[in-house]
Amino acid sequence: MTVVSADSRNTVSETRSRSTLAAVDATKDFGGVRALKSVSIAVAEGEICGLIGPNGSGKTTLLNCLTGFIHPTTGTVTLDGEDITHRHPAQIARRRVARTFQNIRLFDRLTVLQNIEVNALAAGGLRRDASLSTARQLAEEFGLQGLLESYAADLSYGDRRRVEIARCLGSAPRFLLLDEPTAGMNADETAALGELIQQIRRQRNCGVLLVDHDLELITLHCDSITVLNEGSRIAQGDSAAIQSNQAVVTAYIGESLEQAMGERHSRPNPNPRPMEDT
């Protein structure tokens, strides 16, 4: 039996009145390594939640638990209150939960239009005429209409990211989980992506869980922020609360938040396409 802490109940109950994707006291062990330590988080439809923490803090592991790619050792994952802890990723995707990955996963030998359409057909369950129309609409919305017949392998890094997110929306998701979408992007591309995330929320009432190291993006666009360190949740709250939390400054930032945000775009990224975090 899973024991649910009062802190965990508070995390989920705040969003219970809305459709919610949640992890409650999720712990994940890999052999002798405990990657997650009783972590709770909840994302409601129409909400943008940020998830931050240093490399190896468990952010991607938590996303993998929420989407069925791995199962927590203990704890539960719920969708609208239903236990989906041990569901297959495809089953969760059909429940309109979509995600991206740190390393972009497109079909390089398919065109932009085909990449977007394939998810509308598979996870979205649309007929061919409807899926093609949906794909064209999404391509236009993401500024990709001039690249419809281009192969994914020939696209720039920023365009590949936009195709990946557009493809996710082909299934009309209620929840969209983005794993470091700005990695390798410059300041202008990052700002444009932030506006795009807001647009997704406004037009689709989609709940977004945004994992990123760009603190300016997170604080500017997220309604709430959860901070992980060494597999544990060390803070949760709005941007003002996180900026003033000394545990966050010590464990994750190592300097003032203002300095961290200012330096993010003032120096080149030495590793524009990082390996996937855990």
- Residue at 229 is within a domain: no
- Residue at 164 is within a domain: yes
pTM assigned to the model = 0.83
Check residue 260 and give its pLDDT.
Answer: 52
What range does the domain containing 167 cover? 106-172
- Residue at 209 is within a domain: no
Quick check: 183 pLDDT over 90? no
pLDDT confidence tier of residue 277, bands split at 50, 70 and 90: low
- Residue at 242 is within a domain: no
d(CA 65, CA 119): 21
- Residue at 143 is within a domain: yes
Check residue 249 and give its pLDDT.
Answer: 84
Q: Which range is least confidently modeled, 24-28, 37-41, 222-226, 259-263?
A: 259-263
Check residue 43 and give its pLDDT.
Answer: 97
Q: Name the domain count of the chain.
A: 1
Best mean pLDDT range from 17-21, 39-43, 191-195, 248-252: 39-43
